[in-house]
Amino acid sequence: MIRRDFLGLMGATLVGSLAQADELKHPDIWLRDDQKVVFESVIKKLEMVERTVGYANFNLISFDETLKIAKSFPKIGAFTPAEIAYIEEVFYTDPVIYGFYGKRTIENLTDTINEKDVIKIDGSGHYVYRGHSQELLERLMKDIGKTLILTSGVRSTMKQLSLHLEKIKSENGNITVASRSLVPPAYSYHSVGDFDVGKKGWGHQNFTANFARTEEFWNLQKLSYVSMRYTIGNGDGVRFEPWHVKIV
């Protein structure tokens, strides 16, 4: 793989002009005032479900399982019709309105992950799909060394929903900005095989552009069998993610 393909369009001037053009075409969309109460309640219930089932299991949990667990635990409480309607709205809304152009990877909110199709990676709390994803991860770790770690693997609809809503919250309700870094739950390639890698001991820095300055990143660049999903200037409208390994 050549450096140009791996990094994408690195020119700052071009990136800036693309961003300006997209901002004009897609002005920021914010969480509406009438959504804020249900938005907060959905986030809280998802957090409580995750604490109940555990971090690793939450990566695989389905919509129906989430509803069942919430209803079974009084401390969580059943999802209300308004909360379910909001989840459905988030899932089925076309994110083109936010300037995100990626393909839909999950058709139905109720789709599930077959646990026989995934394998848990020791010490990570994450899963990858058996077959190509597992083989690629193992090959990467052999070629790069022990400093390369899996930072995120398979994500169910509910896991991606939780991350997406938390990102909206951290962006003070700006759905447009949030959707270009943590995509809506029906559009994550983590649901079909992609995974994230990072530098051991780097924590949150692994999910910033700083990862592109690490030795691990440059060693990844040298491997002809590796592709990045979201290069700078990518057609999906997503921020540069040097840590995101493309599978399909």
Question: Tokens for 75?
Answer: 């401390």
Which CATH number belongs to the domain containing residue 154 in this structure?
A: 3.30.1380.10
| CA dihedral sign of residues 137, 141, 143, 147 | positive
Rg (C-alpha) for the chain, rounded Å, is: 18
Rounded Cα distance, 45 and 138, in Å: 35
Which range marks the domain in which residue 87 is found? 3-245
H/E/C letters for each residue in 213-234?
HCHHHHHHHCCCCCCEEECECC
With contact defined as beta carbons under 8 Å apart, do 171 and 177 qualify? yes
pLDDT of residue 179: 96
Count structural domains, the chain: 1
118-121 and 241-245 as β-strands: parallel, antiparallel, unpaired?
Answer: unpaired
171 DSSP assignment: T
Residue by residue, pLDDT tens for the chain (248 residues) are: 444 344 443 333 334 434 444 554 668 999 999 999 999 999 999 999 999 999 999 999 999 999 999 999 999 999 999 999 999 999 999 999 999 999 999 999 999 999 999 999 999 999 999 999 999 999 999 999 999 999 999 999 999 999 999 999 999 999 999 999 999 999 999 999 999 999 999 999 999 999 999 999 999 999 999 999 999 999 999 999 999 999 86
Let me know: does 225 contact 136? Beta carbons within 8 Å: yes
DSSP string, 85-128: HHHHHHHHS-GGGGT--PPP----TT----GGGEEEETTTTEEE
Both tokens assigned to 31: 């969480």
**pLDDT of 29:** 97
Q: DSSP labels for 90-101?
A: HHHS-GGGGT--
Q: Are 3 and 235 in contact (CB under 8 A)?
A: no
**Could you give the C-alpha distances from 39 to 11, 28, 168, in angstroms and in order?**
38, 18, 10
Residues making up the chain, counted from first to last = 248
Nearest residue to 35 via CA among 71, 88, 73 = 88
| Token pair for 222 | 């040298």
Angle 157-170/63-72 helices, nearest 10 degrees?
Answer: 80
Residue 237 buriedness (CB in 10 A; 0-12 / 13-18 / 19+): buried
pLDDT of residue 60: 98
Greatest Cα pair distance in the chain = 55
pLDDT in tens, 169-221: 999 999 999 999 999 999 999 999 999 999 999 999 999 999 999 999 999 99
